Chains A and B, each alone.
Chain A
Amino acid sequence: MNVTRGFTGRARVDNPGLPPGQYDAGDDWPVLSAEVTPELAPADWTFRLDGLVERPRTWDWEQAHALPGSAYEGDIHCVTSWSKFGMRFGGVSLDTFLEVVRPHESATHAVAYSHTGYTTNLPLADLTGGRAWIAWECDGRPLAPEHGGPARLLVPHLYFWKSAKWIAGLTLLDHDEPGFWEQNGYHARGNPWQEQRYSGD
């Protein structure tokens, strides 16, 4: 450990909810997307599941909203070091969508892609079991465009670049295929508790 001369840092908070190297951003919600925020109306939003599934399918806004709702209450962690506590997201569990399309046994990974063309890869195991959502509400309000509205993928147990904004679909694959940040040096999985920020961590 190389101590930085004269650096004390702010008062330590004993916060077991804070993964290593992260800080609590409080009321701030930084935005870090690399592309122009799209003007995407709910009426133009669609969500598709395809690839290694039995019955590929596309939902529009109303069809997706007709599915049983599900909420996530908890924390989110961005690779740029901020975390936010006590967020409330509303939408539909990804399990509910997956039950409809029925993934093949051979499906092990997925690439999530946005209406902008942004991509990110995830193991299928991180998207099932009540750990991933398609979210369109945050703290009781429609999700703002700069935060991915009308709807984003939400996978809060991984760094937040995995939670693709303006989600357009997921393609299920039998192998891992790096997405946008993953091709730019970021970690394939991105578990904040293991500090998997960059490839090689």
Chain B
Amino acid sequence: MTEQLTQRSTSTGFTPPTRFAVPGRIAVSNRAASVWQTATLTEIRRETPHAATFRFAVPDWEGHLPGQHLMLRLTAQDGYVAQRHYSIASAPDDPGHIELTLDHVEGGEVSGWFHTVAEPGDQVALRGPLSGFFAWPGDRPALLVGAGSGVVPLMSMVRHHRARGLAVPLRLLVSARSPEELIYAREFGAETRPLFTRRAPQGVPVGRMAAAHVAPLLDEQPPGGWEAYVCGSNAFAEHASRLLVEAGQPVDRIRIERFG
């Protein structure tokens, strides 16, 4: 576990005259980012009709912080490679193992392989953990806002918060099409408010995320305010980050991970 090492604050050299919107939260290991490691699939768990969790043994995994992602590579017989980024779903306290949760994208090259071919025992290549700006070391109050598979890195934060019994406040606002499509539904607790955009359980309104969902969270913000983490498609990220700004969350305390 390299948490002590990686929790150093990032040293900044050049400071632009403009406001630094999103300083990195942690320094990242250059070695971890550059070395391809072999990961062995050990378990597949269905989450929703379109998403499943893939558990890997990665013996030399250096450890990560909640919110970080990795790059995964598949190689065909003729040497052709496909590589994609995936957020890490599992909490850090799981030495030598990581979990990813993948949506099955229609016609998707990599997610398609995972959802139709992959079995325990299969091996893939990965490098990481990558990127320090979306990491949450568990230090500051965290307001997490996600949609669809955008909940994946946020779940790592929720799990970390729970596993460590952290006292720092944490809230999750998560949007899904329907209750069946809500990834990790069984695991959520009082920290989470799910929203449904197409179909909701009896008595719960249907609709996209709105000011009325965000405002109460800013009203109950802890002293010193929230560190906001937004994750999902670009369309969702644009929408949710605008709602946060309009509700009074400072732009330089909103971190956005867009899945492209």
Contact = CB atoms under 8 A, between A and B. Distances in A.
B100 to A, nearest CB: 15
Contacts of A80: 84-85, 260
A146 B113 contact: no
Contacts of A154: none
Contact of B33 (A7, A12, A34, A200): A200
B223 interface: no
- A-B interface, 4 closest residue pairs, ranked by CB to CB distance from nearest: A200-B34, A113-B16, A30-B260, A117-B20
Give the one of B32, B76, B118 with max A CB within 10 A.
B76
Interface of A: 1-10, 12, 21, 23, 30-38, 80-82, 111, 113-119, 121, 146, 168-169, 171, 173, 177-181, 183-186, 197-201
A2 B38 contact: yes
B133 A198 contact: no
B29 A146 contact: no
Interface in B90-141: 109, 113, 117-118, 122-125, 127, 130-134
Interface of B: 10-14, 16-22, 24, 27-35, 38, 71, 74-85, 109, 113, 117-118, 122-125, 127, 130-134, 234, 237-238, 241-242, 244-245, 251-252, 254-258, 260
Contact of B16 (A6, A23, A119, A146): A119
Given A4-B123, A9-B80, A178-B13, A146 B234 contact: yes
B18 A116 contact: yes
